[in-house]
């Protein structure tokens, strides 16, 4: 059950690229909440969830039912966020204004325009003016979204009521003393849908802008006026810049379509949960219903992609013509098209980059996104279940990007089951088994092995638990060349002090795997298939509950790979060992009890 403390949840939209400011906001929000809630011992957690910063506070002071008391907490929070928005807006302006590659591209286009007939004076200034318009539009639009994409959620459990504060006002709901607030469980969905309301509204403005300008540019290349090219090399370079911009623009539009698709999926999955919150009125439910027909919005963006592809072909033809000394265009519109097209495409790219992470949003089903806000439910181990993974999230942040390796993966595996985890590269397969095996730590979620929560173990306890209960098989053989086959197999048992009947156990394993004649041989002199079977023997010597295998047949030929899979099947059937195997091998289906398919960090088929 949840604690009896009251709760305050805070959610802000942040810019993932500004890591320094995000960390600073996280620390300052922690201090503001500690001070405002007047409870130094209160349970408090602040962390990132996709492109949002979330905070959860438990407190005991019941005075916050009064608006005056709440305002003393809310105002410092709002002030903190306003300052954050100003700082990130300043950084956005700097990035737009001083992008070196864009400045160089603009210079090339301006020089090319100056070499064409009837060129308007000072094309460089015209490009700068268009850039300024674009930057102003983006700054105003992005700030409009960010300034409104926050939620404060007060859950007063002792009276059985909730208050949600958003930009449009405060909404009150009563659900009864002693009952669970379903609104609290829907906090992350509410936060996302509140953001989506303003995001989609502004996105339609961007779409209108794109459609008008792209069609104008298309018309400029459909004329019949022959223009001599005075500098073929400069013209070829300028058209190359435009083709590069088109490639980047098409990719950015695809990203925006993925963002819309993710919001559409969340709207659909959250609809029933949000509809239960009828105490909040039509305004809050409008966040779900807004932009119901998002498929039409996506269709329009796809139409623009098709138009941009046509423009690529047109510009390639102009590039060929330039090399021959002349091009055919609509001169009346040509100059403005050369100025407007790259700037419009840059606008799309900046938008897509700013909201890049939206395509990977994944709200926590039946709960909120921060681990500290979940129900403290006592886990009930199901008899016969060896591995249980719940809501596993894992994010990596190399360089300036963010990789959402796992976005809420759930998996249960029974004793003696052979499970194959399939999916394309980057789907999160290896990350998932590393976390289930205790080799890596999830950002959120829990893993139980034989009913034990491995997150609650110390490093020493986890190491000992792995030695006694888990086997590992990797694509790389990792055998010790200083030891013979038998000694390599024996090693894990010696480390775990499982020496009872050890010689007999090793002999039986070597016999069952067809390795007994190689017991005293140097493992480096064996074939790939034989070495892999030594690894299997070593992984199984302690009779583990579960063996995790990562691409165990990746370096083997087809026939040898089948022999390894047959061995897995044999050990499952004869010794009751559970195998969880990550693979690209579609033939695994013939050997496994169950196929689990992954894509983009989630299990799509189980």
Average pLDDT over residues 268-290: 63
Total domains, the chain:
3
pLDDT of residue 288: 54
Q: Is residue 61 in a domain?
A: yes
* Per-residue pLDDT tens digits for 320-371: 998 888 888 888 888 888 898 999 999 999 999 999 889 887 765 544 444 4
pLDDT of residue 373: 40
Task: Write down which residue in 339, 364, 389 finishes a domain.
Answer: 364
Task: Write down which residue in 129, 164, 185 finishes a domain.
Answer: 185
Residues contacting residue 261 through CB under 8 Å, at least 6 positions apart: 294, 298, 359
Could you tell me if 359 and 441 lie in one domain?
no
Could you tell me if 203 and 344 lie in one domain?
yes
Query: pTM, whole model, 2 decimals?
Result: 0.78
Nearest to 538 by CA among 506, 507, 580: 506
Could you tell me if 417 and 553 lie in one domain?
yes
Could you tell me if 493 and 408 lie in one domain?
yes
Q: Is residue 451 in a domain?
A: yes
User: Do residues 166 and 202 make contact, with C-beta atoms less than 8 angstroms apart?
Assistant: no
Q: Is residue 72 in a domain?
A: yes
Task: Write down which residue in 336, 364, 392 finishes a domain.
Answer: 364
Domain housing 307:
188-364
Could you tell me if 175 and 209 lie in one domain?
no
- The phi, psi pair for 146, rounded to 5°, reads -65, -40
Could you tell me if 333 and 387 lie in one domain?
no
Q: Is residue 261 in a domain?
A: yes
Of 22-36, 178-192, 226-240, least confident by mean pLDDT is 178-192
Q: Is residue 383 in a domain?
A: yes
Q: Is residue 566 in a domain?
A: yes
* DSSP alpha helix (H) spans, 174-231: 182-185, 187-220
Q: Is residue 511 in a domain?
A: yes
Could you tell me if 474 and 518 lie in one domain?
yes
Q: Is residue 144 in a domain?
A: no
* Per-residue pLDDT tens digits for 111-163: 999 998 888 899 999 999 999 999 999 999 999 999 999 999 998 888 888 88
Could you tell me if 529 and 512 lie in one domain?
yes
CATH code (residue 555): 3.40.50.300
CATH code (residue 23): 3.30.70
User: Do residues 340 and 213 make contact, with C-beta atoms less than 8 angstroms apart?
Assistant: yes
- The phi, psi pair for 346, rounded to 5°, reads -65, -40
Could you tell me if 595 and 584 lie in one domain?
yes
Could you tell me if 202 and 350 lie in one domain?
yes
Could you tell me if 236 and 341 lie in one domain?
yes
Could you tell me if 389 and 481 lie in one domain?
yes
* Residue 60's pLDDT band (cuts 50, 70, 90): confident
């Amino acid at each position: 059950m949840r604690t009896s403390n009251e709760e305050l949840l805070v959610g802000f939209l942040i810019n993932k690229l500004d890591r320094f400011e995000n960390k600073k906001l996280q620390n300052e929000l922690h201090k503001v909440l500690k001070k405002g809630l007047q409870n130094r011992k209160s349970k408090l957690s602040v962390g990132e969830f996709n492109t949002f910063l979330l905070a959860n506070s438990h407190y005991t002071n019941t005075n916050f039912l009064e608006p005056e008391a709440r305002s003393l907490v809310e105002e410092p929070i709002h002030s903190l966020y306003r300052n954050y928005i100003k700082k990130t807006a300043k950084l956005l302006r700097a990035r737009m204004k001083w992008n070196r590659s864009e400045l160089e591209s603009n210079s090339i286009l301006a020089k090319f325009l100056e070499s064409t007939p009837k060129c308007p004076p000072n094309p460089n200034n015209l490009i700068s003016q268009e850039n300024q318009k674009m930057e102003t539009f983006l700054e105003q639009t992005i700030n409009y979204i960010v300034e409104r994409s926050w939620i404060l959620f007060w859950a007063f459990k002792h009276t059985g009521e909730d208050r949600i504060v958003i930009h449009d006002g405060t909404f009150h709901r009563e659900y009864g003393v002693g009952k669970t607030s379903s609104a609290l469980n829907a906090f992350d969905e509410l936060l996302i849908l509140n953001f989506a309301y303003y995001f989609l509204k502004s996105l339609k403005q961007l779409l209108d802008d794109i459609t008008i300008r792209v069609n104008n540019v298309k018309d400029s290349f459909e004329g019949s006026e022959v223009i001599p090219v005075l500098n073929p090399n400069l013209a070829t370079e300028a058209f190359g810049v435009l083709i590069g911009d088109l490639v980047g623009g098409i990719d950015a539009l695809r990203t925006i379509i993925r963002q819309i698709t993710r919001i559409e999926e969340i709207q659909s999955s959250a609809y029933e949960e949000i509809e239960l919150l009828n105490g909040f009125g039509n305004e809050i439910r409008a966040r779900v219903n807004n932009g119901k027909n998002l498929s039409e919005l996506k269709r329009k963006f796809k139409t623009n992609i098709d138009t941009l592809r046509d423009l690529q072909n047109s510009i390639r033809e102009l590039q060929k013509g330039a090399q021959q000394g002349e091009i055919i265009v609509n001169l009346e519109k040509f100059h403005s098209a050369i100025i407007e097209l790259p700037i419009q495409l840059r606008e799309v790219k900046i938008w897509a980059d700013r909201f890049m992470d939206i395509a990977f949003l994944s709200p926590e089903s039946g709960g909120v996104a921060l681990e500290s806000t979940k129900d403290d439910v006592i886990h009930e181990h199901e008899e016969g279940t060896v591995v249980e993974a719940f809501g596993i999230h894992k994010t990596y942040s190399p360089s300036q990007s963010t990789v959402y390796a796992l976005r809420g993966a759930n998996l249960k595996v029974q004793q003696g089951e052979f499970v194959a985890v399939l999916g394309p590269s980057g789907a999160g397969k290896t990350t998932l088994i590393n976390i289930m095996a205790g080799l890596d730590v999830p950002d959120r979620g829990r893993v139980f092995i034989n009913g034990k929560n491995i997150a609650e173990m110390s490093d020493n306890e986890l190491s000992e638990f792995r030695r006694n209960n888990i086997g590992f098989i990797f694509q790389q053989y990792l055998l010790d060349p200083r030891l013979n086959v038998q000694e390599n197999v024996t090693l894990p048992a010696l480390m775990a002090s499982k020496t009872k009947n050890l010689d007999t156990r090793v002999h039986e394993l070597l016999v069952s795997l067809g390795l007994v004649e190689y017991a005293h041989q140097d493992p480096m002199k064996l074939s790939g298939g034989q070495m892999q079977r030594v690894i299997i023997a070593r992984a199984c010597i302690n009779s583990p509950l579960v063996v995790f295998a990562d691409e165990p047949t990746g370096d083997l030929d087809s026939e040898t790979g089948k022999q390894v899979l047959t061995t897995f099947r044999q050990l499952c059937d004869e010794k009751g060992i559970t195998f969880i195997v990550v693979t690209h091998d579609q033939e695994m289906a013939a050997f496994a009890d169950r196929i689990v398919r992954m894509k983009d960090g989630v299990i799509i088929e189980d």
